[in-house]
Amino acid sequence: METIYLSQKDMLEICQDGDKYFLRYPTFNITMPEVVQEIPKEAADSYISGEHTGKELMNYAQFGFWKSKKQYTQEESDKIFIRNNPDLIFNDLSDNQKIFSPEEFSQIVTQAIVSKLKPSELDSIGVVDSHLELLLVDPIGWEEEIEAVHLKILQEKINNYIYFLEGKQYVERYGDDFDQKVIHITFQYSPSDNGLALLATVQKTLQNTDMSLKVELPA
């Protein structure tokens, strides 16, 4: 990606990668310190020629057209920005929940948690002390506003780990000579009571199998 225009005044940078153009600018937000969004060549040319300001170009990158054609309230702007960046829903859950309908809030939370927890992927797999260990890392909080969605996606990921072991999808790479097979879940945040109940249910499900659950809670 090559920088084709840099404005210290507007604190933005226009880059080109092949036939694609990107706008890059800082947000001063700790969780997302920089935004990089693709923009049309026409929008880049319009800014470089002086037809539009840097702020107008940033708005264009967010909304898809020059903001002067349609004025947004602060709440509308916040909603659009969060829709484009679902992870930001976690920044202030209570306030963010108020500006969306229950259905859309749940949809955005689901999108954000799926992007972090990745229920269809194995985080890590390896052999530890003669047993096969699958590591599952849960980096999501347990706030009341997102607990139900968190539980659903975590259960989906655990089920996928169990299906992986039951289907012996590891055999080609690791063989099948193990004392036991362990699903090792490590939590960044202490689970809620419902989260602990889910783990207890999984433990019960794995009884009388060659699989077991190992849970690591934050100190």
- pLDDT tens track for 175-206: 998 989 999 999 999 999 999 999 999 999 99
With a pLDDT cut of 70, the percent of the chain lying above it is 96
Region 89-108: mean pLDDT is 93
Burial class (CB in 10 A: 0-12, 13-18, 19+), 16: middle
Residue 69 has pLDDT above 60, yes or no: no
pTM of the model: 0.68
Are 115 and 149 in contact, with CB atoms under 8 Å apart?
A: no
Q: Is the pLDDT of residue 73 over 80?
A: no
pLDDT higher than 90, residue 75: no
Please give the full DSSP string across 122-161, using - where no structure is assigned: -SEEEEETTEEEEEEEE-----TTTHHHHHHHHHHHHHHH
Residue 97 binned pLDDT confidence (cut-offs 50, 70, 90): very high
Residues 6+ apart with CB under 8 A from 133: 125, 126, 127, 181, 182, 184, 214
| pLDDT for the residue 115 | 95
- Cα separation, 140 vs 115, in Å, equals 11
Give me 13's structure tokens. 């940078």
Span 43-47, mean pLDDT? 91
Please state, in angstroms and rounded to a whole number, the distance separating the CA atoms of residues 110 and 95.
17
Q: How far apart are CA 164 and CA 170, in angstroms?
A: 8
Percent of the chain residues past pLDDT 90, beyond the cut = 69
Least confident among 26-30, 156-160, 213-217: 26-30
* The predicted structure's pLDDT at residue 39: 92
Query: Helix or strand or coil: residue 182?
Result: strand
Query: What's the pLDDT at 194?
Result: 97
Residues 19-29: what's their mean pLDDT?
A: 87
Task: Indicate the helix (H) or strand (E) that contains 206.
Answer: none
DSSP state of 96: H
